[in-house]
Amino acid sequence: MSAEQNLNIVPFVSVENMMDLVLATGTETFLRELATYVEEDFRRWELFDKVARIASHSRDGVIELMPASDGRLYAFKYVNGHPKNTRSGRQTVTAFGVLSDVDSGYPLLLSEMTILTALRTAATSAIAAKYLAPKGAKTMALIGNGAQSEFQALAFKALLGIDNLRLYDLDPAATERCRNNLAGLGLTITACRSAEEAVEGAHIITTATADKRNATILTDNMIGPGVHINAVGGDSPGKTELHRDILLRASIFVEYPPQTRIEGEIQQLPADYPVTEFWQVVTDQKTGRDSDGQITLFDSVGFATEDFSALRYVYDKLRGSNRFENLDLVADPDEPRDLFGMLLRRAAMPAISK
Ligand code: NAD
């Protein structure tokens, strides 16, 4: 994993490797370090080759490809979103991705990204909140206590100092699991019986529910002045979480407008409704929060540069480590054009010809 890396052997980060890497780093440190990569790439936004993700929708879900390049490195992620999956013991979101060298086009890294997506989504949410949430925010409501939830909680603790968490999920068992998993990690946790109860006294409200429809997790009367909303779960056409009236009262911040207009909460608004691109806040070209009473909304859908940042971070992190496997992924004939000859030589090997 260095300049001398043999480009024909591709490092592969399995789920086990990723878990070991996160645990060896410490989850909160990992989130903090990853967040610096995400933020750095928002700062470099203009030099990226960007495109709205390529989504293949079906009755129960979506499969998406998410590419991005900074001209030196190229990354893509394969990710699905199938809210019904949990009913049959599968996850709503799973992913894997590749980081490549633009000069040669050769892959540098193949990685699991189910865990990494949860980490990068949480890191991105927390970075957005660092710019947009009220100063001194200590209490967060977390509605939707599924796979993303603990990562969100820890990112907000690590990056913003959130120490009070109010949980709600339609399924009390999900809330219980989330509470148990976070026990002893420095958060005061309240399990609530409704979304209305969860948002009481919260400075930040994170919604991370999964339902393939226009849901109304938050209504206008639940949102007081000065609150920051981190809306994570509305990320596909026809899949939203907030009542439209909230959007009309909020200052809305988005990742990549051509993608968010189709997939985010703002799909409920006219196509020319004013929103602010988050990278412009990071680069000081636009104001984030400008008054105490302002309602800010990060209409998160997840953008390819965040996956690029995550793979770039993991690649840097693995240098000099052995927390990966080697994949024989790229064919390497002795003479580059003799690809067929390589096959013939393989056929002639005693073990193969038997
Ligand atoms: P999950 O299926 O593991 O968890 C979702 C939870 O939401 C479940 O526990 C479910 O009971 C709960 N829920 C559903 N409807 C609810 C309601 N009306 N009120 C309260 N709780 C409700 O899913 P996950 O992996 O945690 O993902 C959560 C959402 O975030 C999904 O919609 C996913 O597509 C989205 N997501 C977005 C990004 C992004 O970058 N914006 C990244 C990853 C996932």
Of ligand 1's listed atoms, the one at least distance from the Cα of 124 is 40
Asked if residue 113 has its Cβ within 6 Å of ligand 1, the reply is no
Where does the pLDDT of residue 9 fall: very low under 50, low under 70, confident under 90, or very high at 90 and above?
confident
Ligand 1 centroid to 209 CA: how many Å? 3
Residue 8: its pLDDT value, please?
79
Say if residue 6's pLDDT is above 90: no
Mean pLDDT of 339-344: 96
> What is the average pLDDT score of the chain?
96
| CA nearest ligand 1 atom 33, residue | 233
Residues 210-226 as b/e (b if ≥16 CB within 10 A, e otherwise) read bbbebbebbeeebbeeb
Residue 145: its pLDDT value, please?
98
Ligand 1 centroid to 327 CA: how many Å? 33
Ligand 1 centroid to 2 CA: how many Å? 37
Q: Out of 41, 235, 299, 307, which one is annotated catalytic? A: 235
Of ligand 1's listed atoms, the one at least distance from the Cα of 300 is 41
pLDDT tens digits, 218-234: 999 999 999 999 999 99
Of ligand 1's listed atoms, the one at least distance from the Cα of 93 is 25
Handedness of CA 294, 299, 300, 306 (dihedral sign): negative
Fold of 134-302: Rossmann fold (3.40.50)
**Contact criterion met (CB below 8 Å) for 281 and 288:** yes
Say if residue 300's pLDDT is above 80: yes
Ligand 1 centroid to 195 CA: how many Å? 14
| 314 vs 194: CA distance, rounded Å | 38
Say if residue 345's pLDDT is above 80: yes
Element (H, E) at 155: helix 149-160
Asked if residue 140 has its Cβ within 6 Å of ligand 1, the reply is no
Mean pLDDT of 204-212: 96
Asked if residue 175 has its Cβ within 6 Å of ligand 1, the reply is no
Q: Which two tokens stand for residue 338?
A: 């003799």
Ligand 1 binding pocket mutation candidate from 57, 92, 150, 308 (most atoms within 8 A of CB): 92
| CA nearest ligand 1 atom 41, residue | 301
Residue 278: its pLDDT value, please?
98
Asked if residue 209 has its Cβ within 6 Å of ligand 1, the reply is yes
Residue 337: its pLDDT value, please?
97
* Residue 307 appears among annotated catalytic residues: no
Where does the pLDDT of residue 3 fall: very low under 50, low under 70, confident under 90, or very high at 90 and above?
very low
Q: Which two tokens stand for residue 236?
A: 């596909």
Residues 6+ apart with CB under 8 A from 88: none
Mean pLDDT of 112-138: 98
| 153 vs 164: CA distance, rounded Å | 10
What value does the CA radius of gyration of the chain take, rounded to a whole number of Å?
A: 22
Say if residue 42's pLDDT is above 50: yes
Mean pLDDT of 5-22: 90
Mean pLDDT of 267-283: 98
pLDDT tens digits, 142-161: 999 999 999 999 999 999 99
Closest CA to 263 of 105, 70, 66: 66
SS3 132: helix
| CA nearest ligand 1 atom 18, residue | 217
Residue 5: its pLDDT value, please?
60
Token pair 């980081």 is found at 99
Where does the pLDDT of residue 320 fall: very low under 50, low under 70, confident under 90, or very high at 90 and above?
confident
Fold of 9-115+306-336: ornithine cyclodeaminase, domain 1 (3.30.1780)
Residue 1: its pLDDT value, please?
56
Ligand 1 centroid to 258 CA: how many Å? 23
| 16 vs 111: CA distance, rounded Å | 11
SS3 349: coil
CA dihedral of 212, 273, 308, 104, whole degrees rounded to 10:
120
**Contact criterion met (CB below 8 Å) for 139 and 212:** no
| 124 vs 235: CA distance, rounded Å | 15
Asked if residue 301 has its Cβ within 6 Å of ligand 1, the reply is yes
**Percent of residues, the chain, with pLDDT higher than 70:** 97
Where does the pLDDT of residue 346 fall: very low under 50, low under 70, confident under 90, or very high at 90 and above?
very high
> Going along the chain, which residue ranges are E strands?
9-13, 54-57, 62-69, 73-81, 95-101, 107-112, 139-143, 164-168, 188-191, 204-207, 214-218, 228-231, 240-242, 251-254, 276-277, 296-299, 325-328
Ligand 1 centroid to 267 CA: how many Å? 18
Domain ranges, ordered by start, for the chain: 9-115+306-336, 134-302
CA dihedral of 201, 183, 81, 33, whole degrees rounded to 10:
90
| CA nearest ligand 1 atom 36, residue | 233
Identify the bridge partners of residue 188 per DSSP, sorted by sequence position: 164
Asked if residue 232 has its Cβ within 6 Å of ligand 1, the reply is yes
Q: Which two tokens stand for residue 147?
A: 């796979």
